[in-house]
């Protein structure tokens, strides 16, 4: 693509017509694939969210993409690549579509209160060494409707702008931004990413209900810490750190 301006991410670019899930495909080829390999599919027949949830991935209407990375990072800091991706997608949307997108911690991108993008980061690690990380990004681009159960909570760039979006330019912008913020993360650590997440966050400052397994509580989201955890202030004024892995955070 003439729009791609990266050193290594997307140099190896695999474009598929149909696949179960680009994250699954990426996992299969990861050990042999070069760092920065990208897998994109026109359609996913079993697109996945977190915790086995389904990701609706219609043909030709979205960007269903996985980035294979082989970073010199611990598993603990590789988790933060979700936030690196979120910041990249938000910036790409602002730059190419001029729409104001925000981040709903930890892995959703929201426009006008509805979800337009989800991120699924998965990794393969031994002890304290990461073999590879797969950053899966699903972005609703040109679909004009969603299944009934998603109608009120999902949106697309087409629904928001009334215009069909050129996926090539947008995809390149996401990849360019991702490499930029990935380098910043490797060189300067999580702090600049954290600041960017806070700047674009819809979660911070709002009352939320946290559901983590059997444990549920209400509080106010007040910060993101240096590990990427969400900091919740509860009734008695004390603070709880919530890890991104398996929680659901709902506005109340």
Residues of this chain that bind ligand BT5 (CB under 6 A): 21-23, 44, 47-51, 53-56, 64-66, 107-108, 115, 118-120, 136-138, 140, 150, 154
Q: Which helix (H) or strand (E) holds 100?
A: none
Q: Looking at beta carbons only, is 16 or 192 nearer to ligand BT5?
A: 16
Give the nearest distance from C-beta 106 to ligand BT5 in angstroms: 8
| Closest residue to ligand BT5: CB criterion | 118
Give the nearest distance from C-beta 28 to ligand BT5 in angstroms: 13
Q: Looking at beta carbons only, is 109 or 193 nearer to ligand BT5?
A: 109
Give the nearest distance from C-beta 238 to ligand BT5 in angstroms: 27
**CB contact set of 41 (below 8 Å; sequence gap of 6+):** 15, 16, 17, 18, 19, 22, 25, 57, 64
Residue 61 vs residues 133, 200, 249, 250: alpha-carbon distances, Å? 26, 26, 28, 27
Give the nearest distance from C-beta 91 to ligand BT5 in angstroms: 19
Q: Which two tokens stand for residue 58?
A: 């219609």
Q: Looking at beta carbons only, is 14 or 187 nearer to ligand BT5?
A: 14
Angle at 110 between CA 224 and CA 192, to 5 degrees: 35
């Amino acid at each position: 693509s003439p729009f791609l301006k990266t050193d290594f991410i997307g140099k190896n670019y695999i474009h598929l017509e149909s696949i179960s899930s680009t994250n699954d495909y990426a996992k299969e080829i990861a050990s042999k694939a070069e760092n920065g390999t990208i897998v994109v599919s026109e359609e996913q027949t079993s697109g996945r969210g977190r915790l086995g949830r389904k990701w609706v991935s219609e043909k030709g209407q979205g960007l269903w993409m996985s980035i294979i990375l082989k970073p010199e990072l611990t598993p603990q800091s590789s988790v933060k690549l979700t936030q690196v991706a979120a910041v990249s997608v938000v910036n790409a949307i602002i730059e190419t579509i001029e729409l104001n997108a925000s981040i709903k911690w930890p892995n959703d991108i929201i426009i006008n209160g509805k979800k337009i993008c989800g991120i699924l980061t998965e990794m393969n690690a031994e002890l304290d060494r990461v073999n590879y990380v797969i950053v899966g990004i699903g972005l609703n681009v040109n679909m004009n409707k969603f299944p009934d159960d998603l109608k009120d909570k999902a949106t697309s760039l087409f629904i928001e702008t009334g215009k069909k979006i050129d996926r090539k330019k947008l995809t390149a912008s996401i990849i360019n931004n991702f490499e930029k913020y990935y380098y910043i993360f490797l060189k300067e650590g999580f702090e600049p990413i954290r600041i960017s997440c806070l700047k674009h966050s819809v979660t911070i400052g709002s009352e939320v209900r946290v559901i983590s397994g059997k444990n549920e509580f209400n509080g106010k989201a007040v910060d993101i810490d240096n590990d990427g955890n969400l900091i919740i202030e509860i009734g008695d004024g004390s603070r709880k750190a919530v890890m991104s892995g398996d929680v659901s955070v709902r506005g109340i």
